[in-house]
Amino acid sequence: MKRNILIFLVVLCLSLILALPTGSLVNKYIFIGGSSVFTSGVSNFIEGFPLIYLFLLAFLFILYGRTVKFISIILFLLPIVLLYLYANADSSVWFWSVIFFVVGIILAFILQKLFKRNLVSSIQ
Ranges of the chain whose pLDDT falls below 70? 32-39, 116-124
- The rounded distance, in Å, linking the Cα atoms of 45 and 60 is 21
Number of domains in the chain: 1
- Which pLDDT does position 42 carry in this prediction? 82
- Note down the domain range covering 68: 2-123
Q: What is the pLDDT of residue 48?
A: 87
How many Å separate Cα 69 from the centre of its chain?
15
With contact defined as beta carbons under 8 Å apart, do 104 and 51 qualify? Answer: no
Task: Name the DSSP letter for residue 124.
Answer: -
Q: Quick one: pLDDT at residue 36?
A: 52
Give the model's pLDDT for residue 120.
58
